[in-house]
Amino acid sequence: MALDRFFRRRRPQQQPGADVPELWTQCPQCKESIYNRDLLSNAYVCPKCGHHLRLGAAQRVDVLLDEGSFTPLSGKVRPVDALNFHDTEAYTDRLRRAQAKTGRPDAILTGSGTLLNLPVTLAVMDFAFSGGSMGSVVGEEISRAAEFAAEHGTPLLIVTASGGARMQESALSLMQMAKTTVALETLAEAGLPYVSILSDPTTGGVTASFATIADVIVAEPGALIGFAGPRVIQQTIRQHLPEGFQRAEFLLDHGMVDAVVDRREQRPYLANLLGLLTKYEASA
């Protein structure tokens, strides 16, 4: 009876060919089915359990910036297979698949916009593209975003979501850790704030470079954040890892991040913080 009503109510809203998963999302934590419209209006946080779902780069921009204010910066930098890397498949095939899946050249989206009327430069990593891994393109786009912010006198926000440096570009990926640091130093010399927002997951070479040299480090609730992955650590120490190890709240306890901020509170939190650091008076 209840099931019958469920279907009858939903069916008229369906577009021809649309199927159930496009209307509902199951929370990976509490397994509750959430109506996508509710998820959208709740910044992709589960209304039942508060779990912060992983976001694509475009969704992240929508959640953070004022509606319609976003202007993409570059997006023209494309990856190349400098090493002719082959493992179980060619790197070029992996890239093509990730590009088709996400509709972007690589695991990064950068642009400018406003956050409660405050002009900002934003870089967002896309975990859906090859696990948000950092290769030459991610390094270059992050660097350009930092330099753009320095040139235009805006604060920089970087939202991280990454398994670390990209294996398929080997030492070239590794060097992006230093390269992004160079560009962020340009921003620092201009006296402009850089805030990183660490989302689930942020590990490896991203944690060991631009993510953690921000002026202020914000983490999302429950996000896994660390240098070595939990599996590698487990193999090294051969002990059970404690509950909550490498989670945002654990890092706050250990003095590694400035705040754990609920995604629904991030806009006012960041606007206030950046306003204070830049002595900006909101014109609203």
Partner 1 sequence: MTGSPEALRELEARVRDLEATAERTGQNLDASISPLRQEVQRLREASGPLSRWERVQLARAPGRPTALDYVDRLCTGFTELHGDRRFGDDPALIGGPARWMGVPVMLLLQQKGRDTKTKIKRRFGSANPEGYRKAVRLMDLAEKFGLPVVALVDTQGAYPGLEAEERGQGWAIAESIRRMLSLRVPVVCAVIGEGGSGGALAVGVGNRVLIQENAWYSVISPEGAASIIWKDASKAPLAAEALKLTAPDLLDLGIVEEVIPEPTGGAHLNPEEAAAAVGEAVGRHLAELMAQSPQELKKGRAARFRALGAFTET
Give just the sign of the alpha carbon dihedral 183, 188, 191, 192. Answer: positive
Q: Using the minimum distance from each CB to partner 1, give the nearer residue, 21 or 255.
A: 255
x/- track of binding to partner 1 for residues 17-56 (CB under 8 A)? ----------------------------------------
Stretch binding partner 1 (CB under 8 A), from 25-33, 82-90, 120-128, 148-156: 82-90
Q: Which of 58, 170, 269, 277 binds partner 1 (CB under 8 A)?
A: 170
| Cβ–Cβ under 8 Å, residues 221 and 249 | yes
Q: Does 176 bind partner 1 (CB under 8 A)?
A: yes
Q: Which of residues 131-150 bind partner 1 (CB under 8 A)?
A: 136-137, 139-140, 143
Half-sphere exposure of 146 (CA within 13 A, CB side): 29
Q: Which is nearer to partner 1, 25 or 121 (CB)?
A: 121
- Contact indicator for 205, 164 with CB cutoff of 8 Å: yes
**Residue 226 in the binding site for partner 1 (CB under 8 A):** yes
Q: Give the helix/strand (H/E) hosting 8.
A: helix 2-10
Regarding 96 and contact with partner 1 (CB under 8 A), the answer is no
Contact 158, 132 (CB under 8 A): no
Give yes or no for residue 259 binding partner 1 (CB under 8 A).
no
Q: Which stretch binds partner 1 (CB under 8 A): 42-50, 121-129, 169-177, 271-279?
A: 169-177
Cβ neighbours of 274 (radius 10 Å)? 23
Q: Which amino acid is at 48?
A: K
Nearer to partner 1, 112 or 207 (CB): 207
Q: Does residue number 201 form part of the binding site for partner 1 (CB under 8 A)? A: no
Residue 79 CB partners (closer than 8 Å, separation 6+): 95, 105, 106, 135, 136, 137, 169
Can residue 173 be called a binding residue for partner 1 (CB under 8 A)?
Answer: yes
d(C-alpha 207, C-alpha 202), whole Å? 6
Nearer to partner 1, 23 or 174 (CB): 174
Interaction pattern, residues 230-249, with partner 1; x per rule: CB under 8 A:
--xx--xx-x-xx--xx---
Which pair of tokens denotes residue 154? 């805006």
Binding of partner 1 by 175 (CB under 8 A): yes
* First-to-final CA distance of the chain: 51
Give the separation between CA 39 and CA 26, rounded to whole angstroms: 10
Give me the residues that bind partner 1 (CB under 8 A), please: 76-80, 82-83, 85-88, 136-137, 139-140, 143, 165-167, 169-179, 181-183, 185, 204-205, 207-213, 226-228, 232-233, 236-237, 239, 241-242, 245-246, 254-256
